[in-house]
Amino acid sequence: MGAGTESLSAWAEHARRTLEYRGYRASAPRAAVVAALAELGCSASAREIADRLHDRGRSAGLASVYRTLELLEQLQLVRRLDVGDGGARYEPELPTGEHHHHLVCDRCGTVSIFADDDLERAIERLSRRVDFDIGAHDVTLRGECPACSGAR
């Protein structure tokens, strides 16, 4: 469903090469953010990335993490997600185009991923019907997770 370890490792290498090709220094903090995001995979906040770096003994301030994420987003290496928790979340934009969508619990904030071939085909059909070349998309469905709906 989500990107596998191999895909995320390939993404990290792709990100490194893209940064180098576009003339950005391969700084240690930048490389550490890329590595942490590759480890975390889906829907990571800047705070979670900074915490991962701290846990690994790397010193990168939150401002440095945000700057790196901004740059990665500008270079279309990460996708910024708004899941309604007041902060942005980020995930690798895989060069293969492989992607997934998100289910967000409005009560507890849990973010789950899903992929659906029928949904992808429906988006392709919509693209033809509205005569609009859709280059990318993301779908976020909101509601209650099983734990929260069962707690009522």
pTM exceeding 0.75: yes
Rg, Å, the chain Cα set: 17
Domain range 5-92, CATH class: mainly alpha
Percent of the chain exceeding pLDDT 90 equals 43
How far CA 101 is from CA of 23, 49, 65, 71, 98, in Å, comes to 32, 21, 24, 23, 11
109-145 pLDDT per residue, tens: 888 889 899 999 999 899 889 988 887 788 889 899 9
Domain boundaries, the chain: 5-92, 101-151
What's the CATH fold of domain 101-151?
A: Dna Ligase; domain 1 (3.30.1490)
91-112 pLDDT per residue, tens: 998 888 788 888 988 888 888 8
DSSP state of 104: E
Q: How confident is the model at residue 23 (pLDDT cuts 50, 70, 90)?
A: very high
Q: What are phi and psi of 48, to 5 degrees?
A: -65, -40
